[in-house]
A and B are shown apart, each in its own frame.
Chain A
């Protein structure tokens, strides 16, 4: 009887405590994320732009004159009237898939190599992690210098080998390839370290048992290593997709902030809508909400898929 009473009391106490302890975060999230998100959703239903939002010029305060337009913005974007959404979306998806696939497969390959007994393993590990230690904006600028058509080191190598120089950041296909290369260079170390952690968590006995049973190296990889990596892979792939989909710095700083370019992904396009030319706040907000919705749908399905795989095992 006494234990029941204490149990009830304790659960009551912990609930109060829990709420009190999460309160600061809830407040911060409500103010800094919830409210702006609400504003963003609202803006996406209006025709707000630079010319009609509330602003102060000198001492004069001009009230906002933008209007509620319902789903107009979404209709314009999704029906293709606005003209940029589907091409940007296609490229963003290609970009994300390419980046995550290369991150993961190269990361996995290097992790498998590093997980063996190799001489100089510690040295290799440090060298391979190096790109991660470079802030993305610094790395992007550095690559831009290396990609430079006239004075870049890559073209110096090419001409040194008797080949023609390439305008790496010139036409849109090469721009895209260059951007993927930079992002892969930046992102592989994280994947490698994460997967290496996962590999080391697989009990050696499993490999030994499989070997005793006469499994070939490929079979061991397929039936011991890959399933053992599943928890780590699930998380890093999700993170990778989110990060690549929203990757702003690389695209924005590599390709430049100039005129419209086909190599822009959705995020950089939304940014440019909001802050270049006639600032289209409503259009930018619409794109923002659409990007977020796409990621949410993906994450939900992805996690559900992982849970189902987990259950099927």
Chain B
């Protein structure tokens, strides 16, 4: 608290012992609820194929679930598929959306408001609107069950999303920089390319990361469009562990851990910027 010079008996930031205990209790309980499922899954994954049937015992730790999914299932293939598809959708999304995000942020032009409105509306599209038409279109183009088909499908989400997010980032870069560029004789595109884009690098990274995560966790399209086991993404492959006939929860938990750890690490680096981007885009729309 800067600027509080008048000392009061109990100013802001100080509280009674009881309040302090209550505060910490609430936070600890909330943290436990947040933490428990994650720890539990890690715990189960370390207890062998059938360890999940005794969730409260602390015996029989081994790594058999991990060795099994890495050695004897298509987990690594699925992992690769997920990376390819999510990365493809993200790269295309960011590349295509960056110029549009800049134009919408900086320039006033006929069609600007409808375009912004479209970006927002597309976020609202339930997948049920597009899934059947896309299914038939991709079928006709013989792109069902291919990476390219799924990347195209995900671009329908990632392109407007990236444009929306990036507009928010460009808005946060002072317009004086553009003016400086213009004074120096740069074209609008030159200003964008040489001055704004380098400044927006963190924004690009976060936008990309967000769209990556969205594609990474997509279930509906992937479950229908990818029909051969070789082409499954993780979200589809994981369903085969615990289907109608099988209940390989041990394998599922090990896969869950392996999926979450890399994504989670990057996530913690990026999360501070994620919300800023989303809400900035929204409030200034």
The residue from B13, B41, B52, B159 contacting A25, defined by CB atoms under 8 A apart: B159
Q: Could you tell me the distance in whole angstroms from the C-beta of B126 to the nearest C-beta in chain A?
A: 5
What does the 1/0 interface line of A169-195 toward B look like (CB < 8 Å)? Answer: 000000000000000010011100110
Contact string, A213-233, partner B, CB cutoff 8 A, digits 1/0? 000000000000000000110
Q: Which B110-151 residues have C-beta < 8 A from chain A?
A: 110-112, 115, 118, 120-137, 140
Knowing A242-B123, A285-B132 touch, does A132 contact B267 (C-beta < 8 A)? yes
Give chain B interface residues in 1-53, CB to chain A under 8 Å: 1-4, 12-13, 15, 23-24, 26-27, 30-31, 33-35, 37-38, 40-41, 44, 52-53
How far does the alpha carbon of A275 sit from the alpha carbon of B55 in the complex, in Å? 36
With A141-B252, A252-B220 already in contact, the answer to whether A296 and B238 are too (CB < 8 A) is: no
By the criterion CB–CB under 8 Å, are A138 and B128 in contact? no
**Interface-lining segment among B60-68, B70-78, B198-206, B253-261:** B253-261
Residues of A contacting B152 in the complex (Cβ-Cβ under 8 angstroms): 32
Q: How distant is B50 from chain A, measured CB to nearest CB, in Å?
A: 10
Name the B residues within 8 Å of A32 (CB-CB): 152-153, 155-156, 159
Tell me, yes or no, whether A58 is within 8 Å of chain B by CB.
Answer: no
A138 close to B118 (CB less than 8 A): no
**Is A51 in contact with chain B by the CB < 8 A criterion?**
no
Please, how many angstroms separate the alpha-carbon atoms of A5 and B219 in the complex?
55
| Given A40-B132, A124-B31: A134 in contact with B260 (beta carbons within 8 A) | yes
Q: Is residue A274 contacting chain B, with contact meaning CB distance below 8 A? A: yes
Distance A118 CA – B22 CA, assembled complex (angstroms):
12
* CB-CB under 8 A for A113 and B260, given A37-B133, A235-B283: no
A286 to chain B: closest residue by CB: B128
Q: How far is the CB of A133 from chain B (nearest CB, A)?
A: 4
Q: Are the C-beta atoms of A131 and B99 separated by less than 8 Å?
A: no
Name the B residues within 8 Å of A194 (CB-CB): 275, 278-279
Q: Contacts A232-B283, A235-B282, A252-B219 given: A135-B103 contact, CB under 8 Å?
A: no
Is B31 in contact with A138, judged by CB distance below 8 angstroms?
no
Assess the B253–A18 pair: CB atoms within 8 A. no
A17–B187 Cα gap in the complex (Å)? 9
Tell me, rounded to whole Å, the shortest Cβ–Cβ distance linking B207 to chain A: 14
Q: Name the segment of A76-84, A96-104, A145-153 touching the other chain.
A: A145-153
Partner of A151, one of B4, B27, B55, B278: B55
**CB distance A274 to B131 under 8 Å?**
yes
Instruction: Give B142-185 as 1s and 0s: 1 = Cβ < 8 Å from A's Cβ atoms.
Output: 00000000001101100110010000000000000000000000
- Given the known A-B contacts A128-B34, A236-B279, A292-B126, are A137 and B217 also in contact in the complex, defined by CB atoms under 8 Å? yes
Q: What DSSP secondary structure best describes chain B's contact surface?
A: helix
Shortest Cβ distance from residue A286 to the other chain B in the assembled complex, whole angstroms: 10
Interchain CB contact under 8 A, A145 and B252: yes
**Known contacts A24-B96, A194-B279; is-contact A124 B27 (Cβ 8 Å):** yes
Complex Cα–Cα for A198 and B283 (A): 12
Tell me whether A117 and B103 are in contact in the complex, defined as CB-CB below 8 angstroms, given that A22-B115, A32-B156, A141-B252 are known contacts. no
Tell me if A69 is interfacial: C-beta within 8 Å of chain B: no
Closest Cβ neighbor of A295 among chain B residues: B124
The answer on a CB contact under 8 Å between A153 and B129 is no
Taking a contact as CB atoms under 8 Å apart, the answer to whether B38 and A130 are in contact is: yes
A33 to B189, CA, bound (A): 27
Query: How far apart are B48's CB and chain A's nearest CB, in angstroms?
Result: 14
A135 touches B275 (CB 8 A): no
Give complex CA distance A24, B271 in Å: 29
Beta-carbon contact of B264 and A134 below 8 Å:
yes
User: Given A33-B160, A138-B260, A284-B132, do A151 and B110 touch, yes or no (CB 8 Å)?
Assistant: no
* B132 x A288 contact (CB < 8 A): yes
Can you give 10 contacting A-B residue pairs, CB < 8 Å?
A18-B103, A21-B99, A33-B122, A33-B130, A117-B13, A135-B217, A145-B253, A153-B56, A198-B279, A299-B124
Q: Give the 6 A-B CB pairs with smallest separation, nearest first.
A: A235-B282, A270-B128, A288-B129, A39-B133, A288-B128, A36-B133
Interface residues of A (CB under 8 A from B): 13-15, 17-19, 21-22, 24-26, 28-29, 32-33, 35-37, 39-40, 43, 53-54, 106, 109-110, 113-114, 116-119, 124, 126-139, 141-146, 148, 150-153, 156, 160, 185, 188-190, 193-194, 197-198, 204-205, 207-208, 211, 231-232, 234-236, 238-239, 242, 245-246, 248-249, 252-253, 258, 266-267, 270-271, 274-275, 281, 284-285, 287-289, 291-292, 295-296, 299
